[in-house]
A and B are shown apart, each in its own frame.
Chain A
């Protein structure tokens, strides 16, 4: 079956510091990886969409300078939150899809970021 792992599951960082989170797809090819942030109120924000062999597309209010993403192969993606502040807290979710197989997007358990 399709599985998506994310690590770390939880992280705490000091205000102004940075942290990196990783996403790994198992059992399928992650040709497309979307990073979302889920707020404490449970609402979802799409940060960026990364598709193999295409440029990473960031949504409004999110930039590469703040959330650099790497998607080096069909099973792995990482994102860094640079200079994290209180408003960056939330659950960061990786949604992976194999475009050749359909629209199904599978999520990992998320990385919960707390900023002190």
Chain B
């Protein structure tokens, strides 16, 4: 049973649009949810994260919306640019240092 699920598997948006990436989880004990951005040939880079006590987190053009009751969250990338084209991973943690990752969403931003 996959603990963290992401959808869609791939997403294409036009430059300037808002990209919405979804994530859901199974384990109610998860309390920290980071999103990572990974470019080909590189390691994942921490983009933004939220704790389960919050329902929204904003940082620059990135916003996480979190719904604890429904056990899902979404990453909104406002004003998407071609340089935002990458694979985005949702992860979850229970303060153990062990991150459980989703399978990623490949985002393509077309100019």
Contact = CB atoms under 8 A, between A and B. Distances in A.
A95 B42 CA distance: 13
A32 B43 contact: no
A51 interface: yes
Interface string A23-47: 0000000001010100000111010
B44 A93 contact: yes
Contacts, number: 53
Interface residues of B, number: 22
Contact of B43 (A34, A43, A49, A110): A110
A95 B91 CA distance: 13
Residue with the highest number of chain A CB atoms closer than 10 Å, among B46, B93, B99? B99
Q: For chain B, what secondary structure do more than half of its interface residues adopt (helix, strand, loop), or is it mixed?
A: strand
Contacts of B103: 42-43
Among A6, A44, A93, A97: residue with most chain B CB under 10 A:
A44
A97 B101 contact: no
Nearest to A33: B97
Interface in B31-45: 32, 34, 36, 42-45
B91 to A, nearest CB: 8
B49 A49 contact: no
B97 A44 contact: no
A103 interface: yes
Nearest to A96: B97
A51 B95 CA distance: 13
Contacts of A43: 101, 103
Contacts of A104: 34, 46, 49
A68 interface: no
Contacts of A42: 87, 103-104
Nearest to A10: B41
Interface of B: 32, 34, 36, 42-46, 49, 51, 87, 89, 93, 95-101, 103-104
